[in-house]
Amino acid sequence: MRALFYAAKPASWAVCKCLQPFWPRCVLSPLGGLSLRHVDPPALPADDWVRVRTLLGGLCGTDLSIIAQKQPPNSILQAFSSMPMMLGHENVAVVDQVGPAVEKSWLGRRVCVEPTLGCTARGIEPPCDRCKAREFGACENFAADGAGRSKLPPGTSIGYNSRTGGSFGECFVAHVSQLVPLSDSLSDEQAVLTDPLACSLHAVLRTDLSAAARVLVYGAGVLGLGIIASLRAIGYAGRIDALDRAGYLRPLALSAGADDMLDLPAEPPARFARVAQRTGATVQRARLGNLMLSGGYDIAFDCVGSVQSINECLKWTRARGQVALVGTGHGRGVDLTPLWFRELTVVGSYGRQVERFGDRWIGTYELVHELMAAGKLNAAGMLTHTFRIERWRQGMETAMNKGRYKAVKVAFDFR
């Protein structure tokens, strides 16, 4: 089988980091650690696992952040991954092989694999408190090396460990509990959006919308569009402002349910003044150009994860409001004064879980499929580009430079 592997070495990582300002594409060269290999399909880790054949594998922002070296060299995320990684966790696939403990009725079924490698997938008993509470996206055993029946290395999910493979390959393996069957009403192109939409929906469900009349979605890529669509899908009727520098995203943001896409100037005083005018807040000024607002949005969703986006979300949120951190950033250089001074609630959001939705419990993936099938969750236009795996460099280039190519979600197509 063919699969795209990532195995960066410290020396080449450092060289690549130095070369990036002059040669941005060096991360897609052999120095960057990416390579397309011909390898044997991964073996089933235990009897209750299956092998799936990939149909579509989506390129996630976290994948791109790793490849583009946006995480610091001492990122704590290293403790929760193992190399060489066959990348890719967003997927649509067909079950190709089942272990002896798995019902044969799974064979040939089209599925999305929920990629999280929590206690159940690892075969760890008793499970950690978070998995016991159905919050497997916050599992305490992601770094467990060789623990449980499956003997997996560290890794938060499929695609971020050296054992399971991932959806940037022609096949990978999954625990039977990770299989989410797909109905014929959802196309492959819709289904490959399940994971980013689930991350967005999970973030929305992590916040308290009961007193929120004004919401800011900072970043209108696939996560931001998913936040907007998820808010409307669960019945949120308040005002949603989207913010992104890419003008081509405006129609998608409005179609997903945003009331407006803000077009803010680059200069901080003008940016703060415009947001203050929009929300009825007042601008507070300190020395050396430091600014914040009194008043602002009830909830701000940061879907970018940059220092600027985190700082502005904190400073544009009203006292005792909420800031949801959805983008994968490290946040060095963030001014935390608004956090304690305005008594903000910061909500971290990562992955998925079994959600409390109304009067029932349902997996985030299953809820996304239900809302999409009912026409409530609008993902139209989000999958913009697909590439065969042999054109992986072009696919990565497109995903890393979305503005240039007017891309939203990019996927590898193995069909």
- 390 and 303 assigned to the same domain: no
185 and 219 in one domain?
no
**Four-CA torsion 407, 199, 178, 36, nearest 10 degrees:** 30
- Distance (Å, whole) CA 291 – CA 272: 8
pTM of the model: 0.95
Whether 143 and 32 map to the same domain: the answer is yes
Cα-to-chain-centroid distance, residue 375: 22
Task: Write out the two tokens for 254.
Answer: 């409005």
Q: Which domain holds residue 294?
A: 200-348
Domain count, the chain: 2
Determine, yes or no, domain membership for 377: no
CATH number at residue 128: 3.90.180.10
The HSE-up count of residue 366 (CA atoms within 13 Å, CB side) is: 14
Q: What is the mean pLDDT of residues 168-193?
A: 97
> Side-chain half-sphere of 343: how many Cα atoms within 13 Å?
2
Residue 285 in this model has a pLDDT that exceeds 80: yes
> Has residue 93 been placed in a domain?
yes
Average pLDDT over residues 121-139: 97
Residues 182 and 167 in one domain: yes
Q: What is the tens place of the pLDDT at every residue in 97-114?
A: 999 999 999 999 999 999
Residue 367 domain-assigned (yes or no)? no
pLDDT tens for 314-366 read: 999 999 999 999 998 776 788 999 999 999 999 999 999 999 999 999 999 99
Q: Which residue has the tokens 């992104």?
A: 244
Q: Domain for residue 362, yes or no?
A: no
**Do 243 and 154 reside in the same domain of the chain?**
no
In this structure, is residue 359 part of a structural domain? no
β-strand partners of 95:
52
142 and 231 both lie in a single domain: no
- Are residues 388 and 340 part of one domain? no
Identify the band that residue 8 occupies on the pLDDT scale cut at 50, 70 and 90: confident
Residues 205 and 167 in one domain: no
For residue 357, tell me if it sits in a domain. no
Does 363 map to a domain? no
pLDDT in the model for residue 332: 75
How confident is the model at residue 73, as a pLDDT? 81
What per-residue confidence (pLDDT) applies to 328? 81
Q: What is the CATH number of the domain that holds 243?
A: 3.40.50.720
Using 50, 70 and 90 to split pLDDT, how confident is the model at 150?
very high
- Do 324 and 343 lie in one domain? The reply is yes
